[in-house]
Amino acid sequence: EAQVTQNPRYLITVTGKKLTVTCSQNMNHEYMSWYRQDPGLGLRQIYYSMNVEVTDKGDVPEGYKVSRKEKRNFPLILESPSPNQTSLYFCASSLLTGTGSYGYTFGSGTRLTVV
Amino acid sequence: SQQGEEDPQALSIQEGENATMNCSYKTSINNLQWYRQNSGRGLVHLILIRSNEREKHSGRLRVTLDTSKKSSSLLITASRAADTASYFCATGDDKIIFGKGTRLHILP
């Protein structure tokens, strides 16, 4: 089944403890992206990647890192999480065409709480 | 950044009625996409309309695009309880930006 898999689904952690949220897709998509969703603010893009070893900042990259060593994986790293990073996180992937995205496939989300 | 803004923010209609949501954006686009999100779950891609298209249909969904007004609309015909969700438009080629969504509630 074509899908984007995020892990974990739920995570409670303490301030400053490094964590990684994994994202994997099995559709050979070039494009992958991370979003956070907060009430009243909608979805905001954190980082995106157009292909292996190519990553770029979205609108809210501060406090996050990503890597794209393989086409299928795009982990999100919080080196020193803070309470303001408590949020619902989504990974998404897409084929790319000459005129942009072909439509995202989203993961099921990771609900992160930083205390 | 290009950004879609949906209107209205919330909409409640009776089951069987049609629901219309609008999206406005700021700069020229290659395509515009609509997504649905059931509470707290991942977004589901509904339809993509390219800048050279004016209207597109998918089942009970009809999307229009007016590039001169920088706006799009999503029409859901003969609404059902299962259509209760939030609906988002998205624009952009590399940095893909979502609006804040329209919360649609279908009343029984």
Q: Does B42 touch chain A (CB under 8 A)?
A: yes
> What are B77's strand-pairing partners?
none
Q: Which residue from B70, B95, B67 is spatially nearest to B5, judged by alpha carbons?
A: B70
Q: Does B68 touch chain A (CB under 8 A)?
A: no
Q: Which residue from B28, B27, B22 is spatially nearest to B9, judged by alpha carbons?
A: B22
Per-residue pLDDT at A23: 98
Q: Work out whether the CA dihedral A105, A108, A114, B5 comes out positive or negative.
A: positive
Interface test with B, best of A4, A43, A93 (most B CBs within 10 A): A43
Per-residue pLDDT at B57: 95
Per-residue pLDDT at A98: 56
Per-residue pLDDT at B5: 82
Per-residue pLDDT at B67: 95
Residues of chain A neighbouring B40 (CB-CB closer than 8 A): 88, 109, 111
Per-residue pLDDT at B103: 95
Given an 8 Å threshold on Cβ–Cβ distance, is B42 in contact with A108? Answer: yes
> What are B14's strand-pairing partners?
B107
Assign B83 to helix, strand or coil. Answer: helix
pLDDT, one tens digit for every residue, chain B (108 residues):
446 788 899 999 999 999 999 999 998 888 899 999 998 788 999 999 999 999 999 999 999 999 999 999 999 999 999 999 999 999 987 778 898 899 999 999
Per-residue pLDDT at B40: 79
Per-residue pLDDT at B1: 47
Per-residue pLDDT at A47: 96
Q: Does B48 touch chain A (CB under 8 A)?
A: yes
Mean pLDDT, 10 residues at a time, chain A of 115 residues: 94 97 96 93 92 94 97 97 97 76 87 98
Q: Which residue from B42, B50, B98 is spatially nearest to A25, judged by alpha carbons?
A: B42
Give counts: helices (H), strands (E), chain B. Answer: 0, 11
Residues of chain A neighbouring B100 (CB-CB closer than 8 A): 40-42
Given an 8 Å threshold on Cβ–Cβ distance, is B101 in contact with A105? Answer: no
Per-residue pLDDT at A99: 56
The rounded distance, in Å, linking the Cα atoms of A106 and A54 is 20
Per-residue pLDDT at A103: 84
